[in-house]
Chain A
């Protein structure tokens, strides 16, 4: 029936035709009012077919629809009227599409469902939570998709970080060699590289949080305008920030560690000269 509502056609406003009886009142959603230029108090003709006779009604209320994510992509219009009037208008008889039932308390819901289903024929009762899960399936799919993209991005970032750290550490191979030659331990060098990597990753991730927050503002502004909804499309929560920063730090530290480890395992002299020396055993050298 709700779906049938969407097939209703609003005909022209009638300002001058005298009513046969006191016109009924309806409520329309603000999107319909804005798009069709309908104001409070306007008289319109409501019909179930495009060229049907229909009923004259008065718009007595404008309604803002609840921000329902499952309906955000649908650009349909909504009209609210008394049940019996709609049943009469569309020839539905004594039928409805669904009932919404409120129980005294949540504890009595399961027994109410059982009782209804035992007596029901041709319909079934569900808890609201079950319906919510069903209608949320779209968003579960979108969430999984976003998560998959997120994982790919993390993998790409990890490789990128490792490559950059490798380059940066390689750039300073002579400095590292000189430090090793004057007695600084490999461990100290690795630690210093990791501190640097952590700082870079930390500052970078904070910058990334800032960019992400700004991007979320932009996303919400854009899609709220596109879908004409107050829904939030992107939300930056403390948990998300903590996860992003922790992940960046972990990846940065790992990249720094791997890059530094690679370098400190090369003999210092080889780092300095670029020449790989072959070690010669004394036993292999004649007359040694």
Chain B
């Protein structure tokens, strides 16, 4: 009967109930989005970092991977040292640079990654294959669209310019063998990957035996922090970044979004709370006569409070369920806005849905609904019966 009475009361004023639910839905959508935002970037970035199984990244001292143009000298020596560290299973060196590909008289410039194709963790082959020979390369869809080059084509590529001679430096003829998705590159970035010795040779003495980054995969079951300390001891001239350290750096740089998420989430919850508490208050004030009559008939205060609070919770829960769908939609839209951040890897999402986020939002709204209804309902249920009846009769 409690549910019946609560539902009947809600459906008695359909317009206001629907509006209140809609208001809660929008608040719930915003709350869900903010919960997703507060952890989404972190979840997405972590997933990206670990997508290929590399837990450590080694960068020039004092820098983050590819944060600067600095490189690590004596790359082969570093590789030998890393191989000797117990617990290191796979080492993937990466050299960054530019590649200028001449097509029909014009130069298409792209970001170039020199990698070891056997162990690389920078791209996924979508068509064709990874380079197997020194003169082979893979490219992103944006590069292929801009250049018109197709799988199997041979192109003339250079790694730099010689302004004195007004010519390209480090020229080679390369064969496109694969189409790839570059995991860490921004959307619309023209990217290519080729064997690291090839790029080192093309870049000349500046890049001889140098690497921008080493990615390290540890042996199964090994403790990542222990390996990290061993590498730091063995290679004091570099910075070793674990996934957790990288996460912390990202957190610091994007702390603004987390803080915004907390503030907007709290405001959304507050708005939903205000809406329900106002609705319950007005609803109680409208039916004081009914409420005290129920007391006169023998319904205890607690039961009356339960019934009224149930109305508030029903609005919150139904609104929240509608808001869930709305929130997923708006999250997609907001994500598409933030995905346009320059330099952001295309694989990164700011809004990542995890079921626990929905539960968290629903839980918060349910509690808010309960709290919103408690005071007005308790107040209404505690009015003196005789006095209220008299006032209602006069009113």
Contacts and interface: CB of A to CB of B under 8 A. Distances in A.
Partners in one complex: yes
Contacts of A75: 252
Contacts of B333: 148
A26 interface: no
Interface stretch (B129-137, B277-285, B356-364): B277-285
Interface in B157-207: 160-163, 166-167
Contact of B63 (A7, A156, A171, A226): A7
A116 to B, nearest CB: 13
Contacts of A171: 282, 285-286
Interface string A1-20: 00110110100000000000
A134 B342 CA distance: 9
B337 A49 contact: no
Nearest to A73: B253
A3 B68 contact: yes
A167 B68 contact: no
Interface residues of B, number: 50
A162 B285 CA distance: 19
Contacts of A144: 337, 340
B279 A121 contact: no
Contacts of B286: 170-171
Interface in A153-170: 153, 155-156, 159-160, 162-164, 166-168, 170
B163 A121 contact: yes
Interface string A141-185: 100110011001101100110111011101100000000000000
B16 A7 contact: no
A281 interface: no
A162 B23 CA distance: 9
Given A156-B27, A160-B23, A4 B282 contact: no
Contacts of B256: 223
Contact of B15 (A155, A226, A262): A262
A3 B13 CA distance: 65
Contacts of B61: 7, 9, 49-50
Interface in B190-241: 236-237
Contacts of A239: none
A237 B163 CA distance: 49
A230 to B, nearest CB: 17
A240 to B, nearest CB: 18
B212 to A, nearest CB: 11
Interface residues of A, number: 38
B330 A163 contact: no
A159 B19 contact: yes
A37 interface: no
Contacts of B29: 152
Interface string B330-371: 100110011011100000000000000000000000000000
A122 interface: yes
Nearest to A162: B19
Contact of A163 (B20, B30, B334): B20
Interface in B281-310: 282, 285-286
Contacts of A159: 19, 22-23, 26
B384 interface: no
Contacts of B27: 156
Contact of B13 (A152, A153, A170, A226): A170
A141 B253 CA distance: 16
Given A4-B70, A6-B70, A166 B19 contact: yes
A50 B16 CA distance: 69
Given A121-B163, A141-B341, A226-B255, A166 B68 contact: no
12 contacts: A3-B68, A6-B70, A50-B237, A122-B160, A123-B161, A149-B264, A160-B271, A160-B275, A163-B22, A166-B16, A166-B19, A170-B282
Given A6-B70, A156-B268, A163-B275, 14 more contacts: A6-B62, A6-B68, A7-B63, A9-B62, A50-B236, A73-B253, A121-B161, A122-B163, A137-B340, A152-B30, A159-B22, A159-B26, A170-B16, A223-B256
Interface of A: 3-4, 6-7, 9, 49-51, 73, 75, 121-123, 134, 137-138, 141, 144-145, 148-149, 152-153, 155-156, 159-160, 162-164, 166-168, 170-171, 223, 226, 262
